[in-house]
Structure 1
Amino acid sequence: MSCDKGLSDRLSAFVADCRFDDLPPATVRSARWVLLDALGVMLGASGMAGEVAPFVRVAAGDGPCRILGMGMSATAPMAALANGAMAHALDYEDALDGAPIHPNASLVPTLLALAQAEGGVDGRRFLTALVVGCDVGCRMAMALRQRMEVGGWYPPPILAGFGAVAGAASLLGLSERQVRDAFSLMLCQNVMPGEIKHSQGTVIRAVREGFPAQAAVLSALLAREGVAGFEEPLEGKGGFYALYAGGRYDTGDLLDGLGQGFWIEALTFKRWPSCRGTHAMIEMARAMQVAPQDIARIEVGVDAIQTMLCEPLARKQAPATAIDAKFSIPFTLALALVRGDVGLDDFDAASLADPAVLAMAAKVAPHVLEDADWHGAGGHLTLHLHDARSISAQQEDALGCPARPLGQEALVAKFIDGAARAKVPPADPQGLALAILSLENCPDVGALL
């Protein structure tokens, strides 16, 4: 553990001081891609994910902000709640391989709500806030030296929430002291219990990002109004790392290169709408091109992170909800083997009850490879055939990571597909995509949407 009394202050100063002119061109390009990808996923969820409907009903009302893809308005905190619920509902948003965080699923809804509530937020200001928030969330995740699950927590939305409040503080132009106050206020609100993984019938795991997005908006606005926080919200004896990681963290991962290198350039964009830990299995299955009827049994080798995608095995072989199916290696692998691919339309009620898919999932036997170090982004797959042959493959970095990127053309196509699935689709999705890809020239991001 490193104990640096200036940790909260130094991170707060970075948030308060970072400007668009400090960002390298590659960082700005990555930020544009993040926004494009996130908006397409959220729009798609507005028309496809029934889990978000209660959030929309509760959030809708008079206000300056839009609930994406719904044709409804709301106040900033409530818009962040509804749009945040959409951000992860399809499990199709970006991720940081090697860390327990989807850094932008809370951040983008937070920034959209505040940009519309404030008015006149230009593209340079918006992109800077996006970069800053993503960087803080990723750094806080990378600095962990004890898994948050040890204390019974579910880390992705907790960590992303702190990135979201950092981005909110940047967008609102808060001072260093106010940023620290915003971190403190976020600490008072942002929790997510590990029970989210263990309860079979809940869909909270799908809509989880709505809660930190709403809390981030409230925290930043309250800090701007002068609500004082703690001196050490991150490193204090009752601060973030003490509460969530037993005080075990590395200051170097938080502060080294701060303001010089940005984690937004290291993100993975998803090719398939399921947990990142399933992607290597899907990719290998598609490449093998084996007839489903020829498969007798299936062995999958996973790392420690991916065990949550295989346990309890009977539940993962026959998931009851779409979100549980998306967090299942047996089910998503079976989809790939039976249907040839895994898409947005493969998690409806009919798919969850498909006899061919369920029969294939029942053939999957996982085992942990103790020396695997692919951090949930890889896997080993062996198909044993009825004729006694076997086919094996190993993939350590599934498609979509920085080393094997999707590229801008694929991200635009993904956005267009998501926009077309919205309950109320945008009038000109191609034009909107082009505007996002030159967002630094936009005079008012809130009005653009």
Structure 2
Amino acid sequence: MASFVVSTRYEDIPEHTREMAKRCLLDGLGVSLAATGLAPVCRPFVEHAMEQGGHTQSTVFASGVRLPAAMAAFANGALAHALDFEDAHDESLLHPNAPTIPAALAVCEAFGPIEGKELIAALVLGCDVACRLSLALRVPLDEYGWYPPPMIAAFGATAAVGRLLKLNEQQLIDAFSLTLGQATCSAELKFSPHSDIRAVRDAFPAQIAVTSVLLARKGVRGFDRPFEGRAGFFALYARGAYEPETVTHAFGESFAIDRISFKPYPSCRGTHVYIEAAAQLVREHRIDSSDIVSIKLVGSRLNLMLAEPVAQKRRPATAIDAKFSLPFTVATALRCGTVTLDDFTDRALQDAAVLDLAGRANFSADPARGTAGPDVLRGSVELELSGGRRVKLQIDQPSGSPSRPASEAALIEKFRDCCRRARSEPAPPLIDRWVEQILTLEKCADAGEIARLM
């Protein structure tokens, strides 16, 4: 895998794959900028990074402050998932680009000039590493108490940063080893309604990736087998339950970033088919939400985490908990016709009409459905209406998935809307400039310029 990351040339990557990398960068940056204005939970991370001081290498988004690369990656990484609106890889249940984009941009700015082509290649390869590791697992890591998204994505971010700083094969293995010594996350965050960690989790892998690569570049040696060793990643976290061939199969022939999904709603990907089905039922049947007696949701047992504990999910205490709540997001869709960034403010979390609807929602897991593949995202909504009438809709693939892709125009509009929500709103000409720079990134001689303008 290290050899694959080090030796793959930009020219080896298909054009459509390069285009996907640019779209991921556009989407990720927009969502992060919106978080500077909408996610106060990120502020302590930014303040902590600023208090450390040091070399003025890399920009903290929407602040004008420059910090050492690892600390800028830390601050910007906290923004990446705070709104739960960034891209996702549905097959692997990851947000592989969330820590990778802030880490890669920090390095491009600090150690540049680095060509846009190299940033594109790094994003493609980093996404591939993370998704391959996740897809190789044959047991859900949360069975053993782990929360895998930031843990696994840390290795993808390490691969991307290592590629940008031109590590050789052995140095990248050393960097993976250093990341293994730092990347961890407890699944306990799923059971704590007031926890902020789920929102800001990607601060840690973004910082880890930069730190690991810089240490490996200075000659720090790691382990020979950080993944497949008897105490490597798979042994430690999955008790050896993995398929090695999945990690290495068809390197360079198929890229995971081609199968990235872009979110139309700012909530956990597992809520999306239910949001879409609820909104469609209301629209097509002209249902007044006051006529809804009960809401029956059915899906994979993996989605139990979005429905239990029942009392917590019906009245979420924080924005991030609301984004991981099927009752709340479905009730919002039934009441408002969609779910937007405006639906997770403190005021929205106290909306009596939405909370009343959420109290009528019940989720049940279909035992015939698995916890991997298409079964995870497939779901149905059935509404019982006053008078006894029932309406039902099942959706198999959420909007924005590879089979129902978002258009470039839709992604640009999402980016513009996110930029307008930043703490210091950029002027429209600057937003236009970002769009142009990112979507023509292969022509850019210094990719760090994108971050310097943030």
For this structure pair, what is the TM-score category when the shorter chain's length is used for normalisation? over 0.9
Q: CA deviation at 1:56?
A: 0.5
Distance 2:367 2:259 in 1: 26
Tell whether the 8 Å contact from 1:279 to 1:378 is kept in structure 2 after alignment: no
SS of the residue 1:89 aligns to: coil
For residue 412 of structure 1, what is the aligned residue in structure 2? 412
For residue 213 of structure 2, what is the aligned residue in structure 1? 220
Structure 1 letter corresponding to 2:142: E
Tell whether the 8 Å contact from 1:97 to 1:375 is kept in structure 2 after alignment: no
More moved, 70-79 vs 106-115:
70-79
For residue 7 of structure 1, what is the aligned residue in structure 2? none
Deviation digits for residues 331-369 of structure 1, max 9, x if unmatched?
000000111111001101111111001000000011001
Q: CA deviation at 1:64?
A: 1.5
Distance 2:349 2:276 in 1: 21
For residue 440 of structure 1, what is the aligned residue in structure 2? 442
1:94 aligns with 2:87: yes
For residue 320 of structure 1, what is the aligned residue in structure 2? 317
Unpaired runs of at least 5, structure 1: 1-10
Q: CA deviation at 1:375?
A: 4.1
TM-score by length of 1: 0.96
1:65 aligns with 2:58: yes
For residue 365 of structure 1, what is the aligned residue in structure 2? 362
Aligned ranges 1:87-126 → 2 under 5 Å: 87-126=80-119
Tell whether the 8 Å contact from 1:144 to 1:249 is kept in structure 2 after alignment: yes
Q: CA deviation at 1:311?
A: 0.6
For residue 26 of structure 2, what is the aligned residue in structure 1? 36
Deviation digits for residues 66-95 of structure 1, max 9, x if unmatched?
111222221111111111000000000111
1:252 aligns with 2:241: no
Distance 2:8 2:36 in 1: 33
More moved, 420-429 vs 396-405:
420-429
For residue 399 of structure 1, what is the aligned residue in structure 2? 399
Q: CA deviation at 1:146?
A: 1.2
Structure 2 letter corresponding to 1:438: T
SS of the residue 1:376 aligns to: helix
Tell whether the 8 Å contact from 1:32 to 1:437 is kept in structure 2 after alignment: yes
Deviation digits for residues 273-332 of structure 1, max 9, x if unmatched?
000000001101111122101100010002021110001011000000000000000000
Distance 2:160 2:425 in 1: 27
SS of the residue 1:181 aligns to: helix
Deviation digits for residues 17-42 of structure 1, max 9, x if unmatched?
11101100010010010000000000
SS of the residue 2:81 aligns to: helix
**Between the two proteins, what is the percent identity of the paired residues?**
45
Distance 2:369 2:347 in 1: 35
SS of the residue 1:243 aligns to: helix
Q: 1:263 aligns with which of 240, 256, 259?
A: 256
Q: CA deviation at 1:99?
A: 1.7
Tell whether the 8 Å contact from 1:71 to 1:424 is kept in structure 2 after alignment: no
Aligned ranges 1:287-326 → 2 under 5 Å: 287-289=280-282, 290-326=287-323
Deviation digits for residues 246-265 of structure 1, max 9, x if unmatched?
11111121111111211000
Aligned ranges 1:29-178 → 2 under 5 Å: 29-60=19-50, 61-62=53-54, 63-178=56-171
State the aligned residue count: 439
Tell whether the 8 Å contact from 1:116 to 1:445 is kept in structure 2 after alignment: yes
Distance change in 2, residues 1:137/1:375 (3 Å): farther
Q: CA deviation at 1:376?
A: 3.0
Tell whether the 8 Å contact from 1:303 to 1:379 is kept in structure 2 after alignment: yes
For residue 196 of structure 1, what is the aligned residue in structure 2? 189
